[in-house]
């Protein structure tokens, strides 16, 4: 017999307790009905019988009293008349008699009455003095028979009431509890088991593994580029995507597998009763292939993909099932991080060395949060030089992290992590404010600030730019926002609206790393940038690669035709600078003119550049 799952056992216990409560309530109501109706009928019938007997005996007593008033010596000479009065009030079911004060019967009409019997008496008066009594007696058996019939009918009604009160409310309550239990253990959007139920199933899989030696695999899935769908198509499209993904995953699994949505775009699978690791790898490959296909969302095609981490269960000790199951899930999450770090849309099996990498990542995340809160971030500035005059015309703000143990950390080591943990926009706002404050202290210099795609697409970006300008008092014309082509690939209308708002503020916009993407020319047609920056990869091979030279010439020609400034990054030699100047490039930056330095070293750096120009 299969073991009951923990969630199912608790639900069964709750239903059994509910059944006992409802049954007790129904039994109480049925018992009250079975007892109260006959009792009420008996009481009512007895009162009616009692009232009828008393009325009859009073009439007879009144007649005898009148006779005594008209005729003295009632008991001696009036026996016949007394019997006449009794016969006049006689019923077929009553015995009547008249007795004196000594209890001697003077006249009577007697019936054979069955037991039990009820008797009532009424006094007889003569000149205001009691001289005897009129007595009536009837059998109570007919009333009891009627009450018995009522009792039988009430018992039948009570049985029906018991059945109705037990079954109907119990079904309704069971349905309500079942619905509440479902909502508590399932994701409302996709209908899949949620994190709570998944952990129950995980403990059950570990329990089977400890008892029967059967292993299982856990696959942790995270959708790639899901945030882009939410940002570009809206949350309604994101919800629809999650529903379609859930259906696609469910169609790929066996009935014995458990699929759950743990939250957001995170899913998890328990694969039992399969040959491992071959089955888990085959399943992961199928899932990666299936989710690489486009999903149609309200007329738009969304291309996402998935990263998968796989962990296999080992031997499970008895009594440690819950801990063992949680460890397998933790290992699958660790493998998932590795899959995402190695390019996404792939899968990775957990290995012991991954724990060290994950530990380092978590330590880096903790340190980064402390850095943002504790002021460990720094800005260094690299000069941008006019190639014609060789004078510094601008500064590019470059982010650094002054780590207390690791020294100066470059942004490529922590920017992606900051984006994952939700710190990137906060860092971007700080960079804008700090760079504008520095530019205010260096009159005549433009300040270029790199903006990430996520920060640019956020609702707070324009507010952050306005706040930085208003707080520092910097002329908007001296601020230059640098964006990459990746910014332009999503949400075209919103992107162009943001670019237009920057233009209205007076802030210039530069396209960074031009030529490394695939949509540059189309966006140059839609929006007039102020400057285009040639990527350092082309400048580096300028002197020995004819193709790089051809690309640079084409980019410079585009900027000249559109009346834009052109900046070449990564200039390291005077020969490269001369070639760029000869081709018509207007600006350059690189080690030839100085590395990025803290603000307090700018005087020396700019002074040296100006001296070379002179």
pLDDT top residue among 585 and 14: 585
Most confident of 303-317, 460-474, 596-610: 460-474
CA 112/CA 219 separation, integer angstroms: 93
Between 426 and 79, whose confidence is greater?
A: 426
Strands 565-568 and 531-534: parallel
pLDDT (0 to 100) of residue 2? 42
Picking from 260, 257, 105, the residue whose alpha carbon sits closest to that of residue 191 is 260
The Cβ-side half-sphere exposure at 107, using a 13 Å CA radius, reads 22
pLDDT tier, 3 (very low <50, low <70, confident <90, very high otherwise) = very low
pLDDT for residue 261 = 94
10-25 pLDDT, tens digit per residue, is: 556 666 666 677 777 7
Q: Would you list the DSSP string of 444-459?
A: T-EEEEE--HHHHHST
Phi, psi for residue 188 in degrees, rounded to 5: -70, -30
Q: Is there a contact between 401 and 371 (Cβ–Cβ < 8 Å)?
A: yes
How confident is the model at residue 415, as a pLDDT? 87
CB 393 within 8 A of CB 586: no
- In this predicted structure, the answer to whether residue 89 has a pLDDT above a threshold of 60 is no
According to the model, what pLDDT value does residue 365 have? 87
Helix axes 353-374, 424-440, angle to 10 degrees: 40
User: What's the rounded mean pLDDT across residues 376-392?
Assistant: 93
Q: What is the 3-state secondary structure (H, E, C) of 204-231?
A: HHHHHHHHHCCCEEEEEEEECCHHHHHH
Q: Which is nearest to 549 in space by CA: 534, 564, 532, 529?
A: 534
pLDDT at 464: 94
- Per residue in 214-250, pLDDT (tens digit) is 788 999 999 988 888 887 788 888 999 999 999 999 9
For the chain, helix, strand, coil in percent to 5 are 55, 20, 25
Q: Is the pLDDT of residue 343 over 80?
A: no
Which 3-state string (H, E, C) describes 113-156? CCCCEEEEEEEEEECCEEEEEEEEEEECHHHHHHHHHHHHHHHH
Residues 6+ apart with CB under 8 A from 127: 68, 69
CB atoms within 10 A of CB 473: 9
The alpha carbon of 224 is separated from its chain's Cα centroid by a whole number of angstroms, namely 20
Across residues 146-163, what is the average pLDDT? 83
Least confident of 190-199, 207-216, 267-276: 207-216
pLDDT tens per residue across span 277-328: 889 999 999 999 999 999 998 888 888 999 999 998 876 656 666 677 888 8
Top mean-pLDDT range of 2-16, 131-145, 342-356:
131-145
Q: Are strands 266-272 and 295-297 parallel, antiparallel or unpaired?
A: unpaired
CB of 387 closer than 8 Å to CB of 581 = yes
Q: From CA 148, how far away is CA 172, in angstroms rounded?
A: 35
Contact 68, 106 (CB under 8 A): no
pLDDT at position 31: 84
- Going by their DSSP bridges, the two strands 129-139 and 306-312 should be labelled as unpaired
Confidence of residue 489 (pLDDT cuts 50, 70, 90): low
Sign of CA dihedral 599, 603, 609, 613: positive
Q: Each residue of 114-149: pLDDT tens digit?
A: 888 888 888 988 777 888 888 888 888 888 888 888
Beta-bridge partners for 89: none
What is the b/e burial string over 47-79, where b = at least 16 CB atoms within 10 angstroms of the residue's CB? eebeeebeebbeebbebbbebbeeeeebbeebe
Whether residue 72 has pLDDT greater than 80: no
Q: Which of 31-35, 366-370, 469-473 has the lowest mean pLDDT?
A: 31-35
pLDDT number for residue 286: 93
Between 223 and 421, the more confident residue is 223
If DSSP codes are grouped into helix, strand and coil, which group holds residue 112?
coil
pLDDT exceeds cutoff 70 at 560: yes
Q: Report whether pLDDT(78) > 60.
A: no
Give the per-residue pLDDT at 93. Answer: 75
Mean pLDDT for the chain?
83
Please report the pLDDT score of residue 452 as a whole number.
Answer: 87
As a whole-number percent, the residues of the chain with pLDDT over 70 amount to 85
* CA neighbor of 516 nearest in space, from 570, 462, 480: 570
53-57, 187-191, 229-233: least confidently modelled range: 229-233
What percent of the chain is modeled with pLDDT above 90?
32
Q: pTM higher than 0.75, yes or no?
A: no
3-state SS, residue 478: helix
Count of C-beta atoms within a 10 Å radius of residue 447: 24
Higher pLDDT, 331 or 173: 331
106 falls in which pLDDT band (50, 70, 90)?
Answer: confident
Please return the burial class of 147, using the count of CB atoms within 10 Å of its CB with bins 0-12, 13-18 and 19+: buried
Pair 239, 499: CB distance under 8 Å = no
């Amino acid at each position: 017999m299969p073991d009951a799952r923990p969630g199912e056992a608790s639900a069964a216990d709750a239903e059994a307790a509910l059944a006992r409560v409802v049954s007790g309530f129904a039994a109480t109501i049925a018992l009250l009905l079975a007892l109260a109706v006959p009792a009420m009928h008996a009481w009512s019938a007895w009162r009616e019988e009692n009232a009828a007997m008393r009325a009859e005996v009073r009439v007879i007593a009144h007649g005898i009293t009148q006779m005594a008033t008209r005729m003295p010596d009632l008991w001696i000479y009036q026996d016949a008349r007394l019997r006449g009065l009794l016969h006049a009030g006689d019923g077929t079911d009553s015995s009547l008699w008249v007795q004196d004060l000594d209890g001697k019967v003077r006249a009577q009409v007697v019936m054979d009455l069955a037991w039990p019997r009820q008797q009532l008496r009424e006094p007889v008066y003569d000149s205001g003095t009691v001289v005897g009594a009129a007595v009536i007696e009837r059998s109570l058996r007919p009333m009891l028979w009627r009450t018995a019939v009522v009792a039988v009918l009430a018992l039948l009604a009570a049985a029906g009431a018991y059945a109705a009160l037990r079954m109907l409310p119990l079904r309704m309550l069971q349905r309500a509890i079942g619905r509440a239990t479902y909502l508590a253990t399932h994701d409302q959007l996709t209908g899949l088991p949620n994190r709570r139920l998944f952990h129950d199933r995980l403990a059950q899989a570990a329990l089977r593994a400890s008892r029967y030696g059967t292993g299982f695999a856990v696959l942790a899935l995270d959708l790639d580029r899901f945030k882009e769908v939410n940002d570009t198509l809206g949350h309604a499209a994101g919800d629809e995507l999650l529903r379609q993904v859930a259906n696609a995953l469910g169609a790929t699994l066996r009935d014995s597998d458990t699929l759950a949505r743990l939250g957001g775009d995170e899913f998890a699978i328990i694969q039992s009763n399969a040959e491992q690791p071959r089955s888990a790898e085959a399943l992961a490959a199928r899932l990666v292939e299936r989710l690489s296909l486009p999903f149609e969302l309200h007329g738009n095609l969304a291309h996402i993909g998935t990263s998968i981490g796989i962990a296999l269960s080992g031997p499970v000790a008895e009594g440690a099932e819950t801990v063992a199951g949680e460890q397998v899930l933790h290992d699958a999450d660790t493998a998932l991080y590795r899959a995402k770090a190695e390019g996404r849309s792939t899968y990775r099996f957990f290995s012991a060395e991954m724990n060290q990498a994950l530990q380092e990542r978590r330590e880096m995340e903790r340190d980064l949060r402390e850095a943002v809160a504790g002021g460990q971030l720094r800005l260094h500035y690299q000069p941008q030089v006019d190639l014609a005059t060789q004078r510094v015309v601008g500064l590019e703000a470059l982010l650094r992290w002054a780590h207390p143990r690791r020294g100066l950390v470059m942004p490529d080591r922590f920017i992606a992590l900051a984006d994952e943990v939700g710190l990137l926009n906060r860092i971007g706002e700080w960079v804008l404010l700090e760079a504008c404050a520095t530019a205010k202290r260096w009159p005549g210099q433009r300040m270029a600030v790199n903006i990430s795609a996520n920060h640019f697409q956020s609702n707070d970006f324009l507010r952050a730019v306005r706040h930085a300008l208003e707080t520092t008092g910097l002329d908007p014309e001296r601020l230059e926002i640098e964006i990459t082509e990746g910014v332009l690939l999503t949400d075209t209308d919103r992107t162009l609206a943001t670019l237009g708002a920057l233009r209205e503020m007076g802030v210039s916009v530069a396209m960074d790393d031009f030529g490394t993407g695939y949509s540059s020319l189309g966006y140059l047609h839609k929006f007039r940038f102020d400057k285009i920056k040639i990527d350092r990869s082309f400048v580096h091979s300028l002197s020995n690669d004819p193709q790089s030279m051809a690309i640079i010439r084409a980019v410079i020609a585009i900027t000249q035709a559109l009346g834009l400034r052109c900046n070449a990054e990564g200039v390291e030699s005077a020969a490269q600078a001369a070639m760029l100047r000869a081709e018509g490039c207007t600006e350059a930056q690189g080690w030839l003119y100085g590395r990025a330095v803290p603000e307090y070293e700018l005087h020396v750096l700019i002074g040296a550049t100006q001296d070379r120009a002179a």
